[in-house]
């Protein structure tokens, strides 16, 4: 009995499969590019400068923190660049420079490095920074006020805000194809649904994000919005509108799937994603904030360690030797 093979493994030397944090970061950046480029196409140089400043300042903050803490320089893995890019994509194109730089400082220092760097952060660093900016300067993230001088020839009221303030009858003023193709007021990189879905599918296929989290998040948003809509169609918007507006799609593929702050086991991933989707719609429909994605994901980040206690059953059977 004691000689029975319980575990089989290969002997050294091992062969590295080539994966690295740098490769992952490059792939995430590549996947986010379609949506980011659409933002630059729609808003022009203002969007480009926000994204450029966000990425570069995030890398510089990371480098500075490495120097101050006397740790190896980690900007080569480009994780800071990813955080900066995603934060920039959540901003309006008219975001002032100081808010961009402060945002990346909060993301890199308060969101990530203060906990020990990559892999140690309990919350999504991008969303920590966004939430702090939103609570401190609400007006800077008010898309209606920030984009007053832009006109794409469609209804330029921020769709998810219009739904919250004026009710579901405003949905008729938006064409779903416009929302899907990015012809709506909103953040630089959060409005081009097609680009975000293509990028998200690419990351899922390459194995850089877990489909369980992304799909369960979208399902959570869809089902919750459907239930609200079915309960009171005169007050709550339909699920497709919720999916194509606000931060839903960038949240599903680029934010809720962040490695360090999301669970690793199958059932916890489903609960985590669905919970974030449920809270998103709950905040949108009955909460204070216009969009619920940011706070919904941050709240589910809190539950991550608890959820990962739900573990798969260990292989094999118990043997009593005594």
Q: How far is the CB of 52 from other proteins (least distance, A)?
A: 4
Q: How far is the CB of 1 from other proteins (least distance, A)?
A: 48
- Interface with other proteins: number of residues (CB under 8 A): 35
Which of 33, 37, 46, 289 is in the footprint of other proteins by CB under 8 A?
46
Which of 115, 150, 202, 211 is in the footprint of other proteins by CB under 8 A?
150
H or E element that contains 127: helix 125-136
Decide whether 30 or 145 has the Cβ nearer to other proteins. 145
Q: Does 137 bind other proteins (CB under 8 A)?
A: no
Which of 1, 149, 316, 317 is in the footprint of other proteins by CB under 8 A?
149
Decide whether 211 or 289 has the Cβ nearer to other proteins. 289
Binding to other proteins by CB under 8 A, coded x per residue (else -) over 85-104, reads: ---------x--x--x----
Q: Does 52 bind other proteins (CB under 8 A)?
A: yes
Binding to other proteins by CB under 8 A, coded x per residue (else -) over 54-83, reads: xxxx-xx--x---------x-xxxx--x--
Q: How far is the CB of 36 from other proteins (least distance, A)?
A: 12
**Dist CA 247 CA 285 (whole Å):** 15
Contacts with 54 (C-beta within 8 Å, 6 or more apart), sequence order: 84, 85, 87, 88, 91, 100, 103, 104
Secondary structure in 3-state letters for 132-169: HHHHHCHHHHCHHHHCCCCCCCCCCCCHHHHHHHHCHH
Which of 37, 49, 181, 267 is in the footprint of other proteins by CB under 8 A?
49
Omega before 13 cis (within 30°)?
A: yes
Segment contacting other proteins (CB under 8 A): 44-52, 106-114, 196-204, 299-307?
Answer: 44-52
Q: How far is the CB of 250 from other proteins (least distance, A)?
A: 20
Instruction: Give me the sign of the Cα torsion angle 267, 270, 271, 272.
Output: positive
DSSP calls for 178-205: HHHTT-SSS-TTTS-HHHHHHHHHHHHH
Binding to other proteins by CB under 8 A, coded x per residue (else -) over 217-236, reads: --------------------
Are 221 and 281 within 8 A, CB to CB?
Answer: yes
Are 88 and 56 within 8 A, CB to CB?
Answer: no
Q: Does 4 bind other proteins (CB under 8 A)?
A: no
Helix, strand, or coil (residue 131): helix
Which of 31, 48, 105, 279 is in the footprint of other proteins by CB under 8 A?
48
Query: Which residue in 96, 85, 105 sits closest to 34, CA to CA?
Result: 85
Query: Which residue in 146, 175, 148 sits closest to 159, CA to CA?
Result: 175
Q: Does 144 bind other proteins (CB under 8 A)?
A: yes
DSSP calls for 58-108: HHHHHHHHHHHTT----GGG-HHHHHHHHHHHHS-TT--HHHHHHHHHIII
Q: How far is the CB of 92 from other proteins (least distance, A)?
A: 12
Q: 116: which DSSP letter?
A: T
Binding to other proteins by CB under 8 A, coded x per residue (else -) over 18-37, reads: ----x---------------
**Dist CA 80 CA 62 (whole Å):** 7
Q: Does 156 bind other proteins (CB under 8 A)?
A: yes
Q: How far is the CB of 50 from other proteins (least distance, A)?
A: 8
Which chain residues interact with other proteins by CB under 8 A?
A: 22, 45-46, 48-50, 52-57, 59-60, 63, 73, 75-78, 81, 94, 97, 100, 144-145, 148-151, 156-157, 161, 165-166
């Amino acid at each position: 009995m004691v000689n029975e093979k319980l575990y089989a493994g290969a002997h050294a030397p091992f062969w590295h499969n080539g994966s690295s944090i740098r490769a992952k970061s490059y792939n995430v950046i590549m996947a986010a590019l379609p949506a980011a480029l659409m933002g630059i196409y729609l808003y022009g140089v203002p969007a480009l400068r926000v994204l450029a400043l966000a990425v570069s300042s995030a890398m510089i903050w990371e480098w500075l923190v490495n120097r101050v803490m006397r740790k190896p320089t980690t900007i080569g893995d480009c994780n800071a660049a990813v955080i900066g890019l995603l934060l920039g994509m959540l901003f309006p194109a008219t975001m002032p420079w100081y808010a961009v730089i402060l945002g990346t400082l909060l993301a890199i220092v308060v969101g990530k490095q203060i906990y020990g760097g990559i892999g140690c952060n309990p919350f999504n660093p991008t969303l920590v920074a966004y939430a702090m900016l939103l609570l401190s300067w609400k007006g800077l993230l008010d898309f209606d006020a920030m984009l007053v001088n832009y006109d794409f020839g469609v209804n330029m009221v921020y769709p998810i805000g219009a739904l919250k303030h004026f009710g579901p009858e405003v949905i008729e003023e938006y064409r779903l194809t416009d929302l899907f193709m990015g012809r709506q007021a909103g953040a630089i990189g959060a409005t081009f649904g097609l680009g975000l879905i293509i990028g998200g599918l690419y990351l899922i296929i390459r194995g850089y994000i877990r489909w369980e989290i992304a799909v369960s998040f979208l399902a959570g948003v869809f089902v919750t919005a459907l239930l609200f809509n079915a309960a009171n169609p005169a007050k709550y918007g339909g699920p497709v509108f919720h999916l194509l507006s606000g931060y839903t799609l960038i949240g599903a593929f680029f934010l809720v799937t962040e490695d360090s702050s999301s669970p690793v086991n199958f059932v916890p991933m489903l609960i985590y994603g669905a919970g974030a989707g449920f809270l998103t719609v709950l905040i949108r429909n009955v909460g204070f904030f216009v969009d619920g994605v940011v706070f919904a994901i941050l709240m589910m980040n809190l539950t991550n360690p608890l959820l990962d206690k739900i573990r798969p059953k260990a292989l094999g059977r118990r043997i009593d030797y005594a």
